[in-house]
Structure 1
Amino acid sequence: MQLLSLIISLVSVLVAVVVAVWGFRSSSRSERLRMFFDLQERYLSEPVRVGRRLIHTAIAGNDHVIITDIPRETLSSIGYTLAVMNTIAICTEVGYVDEALIARSMGRSFATAVYAALPYIDHVESVRGFRPYPYAERFAARLRA
C-alpha cells in the first residue's frame, strides 16, 4: 500500500510537470502567432503602406535625390514606416515571432523597402550621428541572403 501511494505521488508530480511544460509551450506558440498577426496588421496598415509607397516613389531609383528637398510630411511618413519595420525586425531577432513566417509573408516587400530607403537612412545618420534603423537593415540583409 505504501509503495502504491509512493508511485502515485511520484507519477502525479511528473504528470504535473509535463502538463505545465506542455501548457507553457502551447501558450508560447499561441503568443508568437498572436504577435505575428499584430505585426502583420501594423505592416499592412494604411500609414505604413503609404510610407512604403513614398519610399519607392520619392527615394528609390533616384540617384541624385536630395533628402532636404523632400517635403517634411513625406519624410515623417517614411520615418514612421521604417520605425515600424525596425520594430518588426527587433521582434524577429529576439524570437517573439517566427522569422521564417515573417520572411514568407512580408520578406520581399520588407527587404525591398529597406534597401530603397538607404539614401534616407544615410541622410538621417549624417544628421543625427547614428544609424537609426539597424535592426531593419540587418533583417533586410538576412532576407536578401
Structure 2
Amino acid sequence: MKKVRDIRNLITPNASVVYENASLSKIAEEMIKDPKTTAVYVIDENKKLKGVIPLDELIQYIYYEYIPQDYIMYHFPLVLSNDATAQDIMLPPVYVKDTDTITDAFKKMFKNRMKEVPVVDEDMHVIGDLNMLELIMAWLSSVKNAD
C-alpha cells in the first residue's frame, strides 16, 4: 500500500500557513496566493500545527451577513467581527504524516469534507500538503503502471 512519503513529489511543498493571531485579511491573502489552495493551516509561535481554516469556513465568515440563516454552517464564535483572528475561526487540525497510507489520507479528507490536508513531521511542523488532485494523480500513475 502506497504511503504519503511515496508520493512526496506530488505534495505541494509550500503549504499556506498563518500564525494564530493572523487577521482575516492576512488569512485571505495567504489563501489566494495559490489558486489550488483550499485551506490555510494555523501554526503557533513554535510553528506547530494548531488548526485548519478551509476555504468554505473563511468565505462563510467573510460573507456571513449575506447567507440565509438556514444555510450557515455554524462554527463561528459567538461575536462576529472583522477583528477576528485565525485562532477565532480555525477548526481542529486534521493532518497526515509521511507514514500514513494514501487510503488513510483519503479517508481523513473525505470524513472531514476537506479537499486538502497538511502533511506534518513528528514535531507537528507543516512540511507540505496533500490535495484531492494529487490523490487522483497518484491513482492515475498506479493505473498506468499496471498497464
Q: TM-score range by the shorter chain?
A: under 0.3
Q: Which has the higher strand share?
A: 2
Rg larger in 1 or in 2? 1
Structure 2 length-normalised TM = 0.26
Q: Which has the higher helix share?
A: 1
Structure 1 length-normalised TM = 0.26
